[in-house]
Amino acid sequence: MKLSHWLFFACLPLSVSAQQTPNAIQRAQQRSFTVATIPQPGEVLTLQQAVQQAIDKDYQIRINRSQEEIARNNYTKGNAGYLPVLTGNANSNGSLQSFRQTTIGNLQPERIGSGVFNRASNVGINLNYTVFNGYARRTFYTQLKQLLQISTVNTRANVEATVANIATGYYNVVRHLQRLIAFTQALDISRERLELARANYEVGTRSKVDFLSAQVDYNTDSAALLSQEQALRNAKIILNTLLIRDPQTEFAIRDTIIARTDLQLEALQQSLSTNNPQLAAAILNRSVSDLNVEIAKAQQLPLVTAQTGYNYQFIDNQGGFGVATGRTSAVTYNVVASIPIFNGYNLKRQIQNARVNTIIAQDQIDTQKLQLQSAVAQTYHNYQNSLKLLNLEVQNNQLANQNVDIAYDRYRIGNSTFVEFRNVQRTAIDGQTRLIEAEYNAKAAEIELLRLSSTISQELGL
């Protein structure tokens, strides 16, 4: 066997071993954490848990639910005027008298009395009922139902807004966690470079400038990491505030950001038109305005009311004059019909104003619809653009990581300067940061689209 063959087989294990041994960059990447492994104090918090806590505690939602309860209590036939009003009454009056009486010409002897008690009492029950009021009570009862529905959709709007805010805040924490991991990895790479620069400086193969530059870059990355730790704390404080709990509460998040790629504009717009609570509230307000016109018109029609009652009266007169005792009972009734003839054109004015309010309500519907459609269109374009950027940044991140590996090997063997390596490293850090931002922006746009289309609760499994 030739000597060259012996050398080939002798060097082969060394070559394989060299391929399997990771370089400094790879070692730093292997040491870096993931969202699932990075140390975090506190219990793990899932998105569903966060949303449920917020819905249960949010003050605005509690206010909306209380207002909805009031509207539900008001939605009764009695409040609309369908039921009669029954009242009972009782009164008693009396007096304790002393008297001395003489008659003209002394025709009768003088009368003197002291401590004479007189009493008159009355008890009764009365029933009042509106027989006809121009169909106003029927219209008012329908209006009460509409007001209850408005309260319901307002509650749903605030619930969906809260869910969107919580989801955005939750993924904001994930974003800052991922940035923290990226900066930690960058600091590990700078540490590997600093150790290499120190070793080369000590053996005299590199200048002190190279070593000092590595130290400066390491300190810069350390400062960036500290700033990112503060940004993460701030993001957690914001989320804790949304959850209505102590802002300093510690918790851990293990989720990652995965943006959907299948949202379609046509389906979102259709869902918005049929499900969006803000648009539904505007449409219901138009219905209430239409009913106000009917209520105003009802005042042009006759008003018929009926009253009936039963009264019992008894008298006890100890004075000796007139009736000494008496007992009286009576059933009474009264039917009144009235029709407006002229009231200074005020009724006409009220009807005209009610009709103007319906025009205003319709304009509010059109304005709300236009604003929501505009918001969906803009957010959807942002969503698509974020997905495109995300695809580009994924590719850029892979290339940048490979470039860092190559640049470090070139720097290690002296084929490049520390300036070239730092530029490559900074480009990789910027690329990784842009990737994280693209993921978050796509997710934030997705959440807003789900909120506008009123499908966010179903999509999050709530």
pLDDT the model gives residue 118 = 76
pLDDT the model gives residue 71 = 96
- Which range among 127-131, 149-153, 329-333 shows the weakest confidence by mean pLDDT? 329-333
Contacts 24+ apart (CB under 8 A), 111-116: 111/320, 113/319, 113/320, 116/318, 116/319, 116/320
Q: 104 in a domain, yes or no?
A: no
Q: 110 in a domain, yes or no?
A: no
Question: What's the CA gap between 20 and 154, in Å, rounded?
Answer: 62
- Which range among 289-298, 301-310, 413-422 shows the weakest confidence by mean pLDDT? 413-422
Q: 7 in a domain, yes or no?
A: no
pLDDT the model gives residue 101 = 67
Kindly state the average pLDDT of the residues 23-50: 79
More confident residue, 4 or 209: 209
Kindly state the average pLDDT of the residues 211-239: 93
pLDDT the model gives residue 52 = 93
More confident residue, 142 or 418: 142
Is the pLDDT score of 209 beyond 70? yes
- Which of 25-29, 147-151, 340-344 ranks highest by mean pLDDT? 147-151
pLDDT the model gives residue 196 = 82
Contact by Cβ (8 Å): 444, 367: no
Question: By CB neighbour count within 10 A (0-12 exposed, 13-18 middle, 19+ buried), where does 176 fall?
Answer: buried
Is the pLDDT score of 393 beyond 70? yes
Encode burial over 233-242: b for 16+ CB neighbours within 10 A, e otherwise: eebbebbbeb
The label of the residue with tokens 């509010």 reads 364
pLDDT range class, residue 412, cuts 50, 70, 90: confident
Query: How far, in whole angstroms, is CA 438 from its chain's centroid?
Result: 25
Number of domains in the chain: 1
Question: By CB neighbour count within 10 A (0-12 exposed, 13-18 middle, 19+ buried), where does 347 fall?
Answer: middle
pLDDT range class, residue 1, cuts 50, 70, 90: very low
pLDDT the model gives residue 7 = 30
Q: Which two tokens stand for residue 316?
A: 């006890």
What crossing angle do the helices spanning 136-203 and 47-57 adopt, rounded to 10°? Answer: 140
Question: Parallel, antiparallel, or unpaired: how do β-strands 111-132 and 303-317 relate?
Answer: antiparallel
Is the pLDDT score of 5 beyond 70? no
Question: What's the CA gap between 427 and 327, in Å, rounded?
Answer: 107
Q: 127 in a domain, yes or no?
A: no
Kindly state the average pLDDT of the residues 237-266: 94
pLDDT range class, residue 220, cuts 50, 70, 90: very high
Q: 282 in a domain, yes or no?
A: yes
pLDDT range class, residue 328, cuts 50, 70, 90: confident
pLDDT the model gives residue 12 = 33
Q: 161 in a domain, yes or no?
A: yes
Question: What's the CA gap between 418 and 424, in Å, rounded?
Answer: 10
pLDDT the model gives residue 96 = 73
Q: 443 in a domain, yes or no?
A: yes
Region of 250 on the Ramachandran plot (φ > 0 left; ψ -120 to 50 alpha; else beta): beta
pLDDT the model gives residue 27 = 62
Contact by Cβ (8 Å): 365, 273: no
Is the pLDDT score of 335 beyond 60? yes
- Which range among 62-76, 180-194, 393-407 shows the weakest confidence by mean pLDDT? 393-407
Q: 196 in a domain, yes or no?
A: yes
- Average pLDDT value for the chain: 86
- Predicted confidence (pLDDT) per residue in 256-282, tens digit: 999 999 999 999 999 999 999 999 999
pLDDT range class, residue 29, cuts 50, 70, 90: low
Query: Residue 394: how many CA atoms within 13 Å on its side-chain side?
Result: 8
pLDDT the model gives residue 398 = 82
Is the pLDDT score of 211 beyond 60? yes
Is the pLDDT score of 18 beyond 60? no
pLDDT the model gives residue 200 = 82
Contact by Cβ (8 Å): 237, 251: no
Supply the range of the domain harboring residue 279: 24-88+134-301+343-459
Question: What's the CA gap between 434 and 427, in Å, rounded?
Answer: 10
pLDDT the model gives residue 325 = 72
Sign of the CA dihedral running 198, 199, 200, 201: positive
Q: Give the pTM.
A: 0.83
Q: Residue 243: which CATH number?
A: 1.20.1600.10
More confident residue, 438 or 101: 438
pLDDT the model gives residue 365 = 96
What crossing angle do the helices spanning 265-275 and 346-412 adopt, rounded to 10°? Answer: 150
- Predicted confidence (pLDDT) per residue in 66-84, tens digit: 999 999 999 999 999 999 9
Is the pLDDT score of 21 beyond 70? no
pLDDT the model gives residue 15 = 35
Compute how many other C-beta atoms are within 10 angstroms of the C-beta atom of residue 352: 13
- Predicted confidence (pLDDT) per residue in 189-205, tens digit: 888 888 888 888 888 77
pLDDT range class, residue 363, cuts 50, 70, 90: very high
Is the pLDDT score of 58 beyond 60? yes
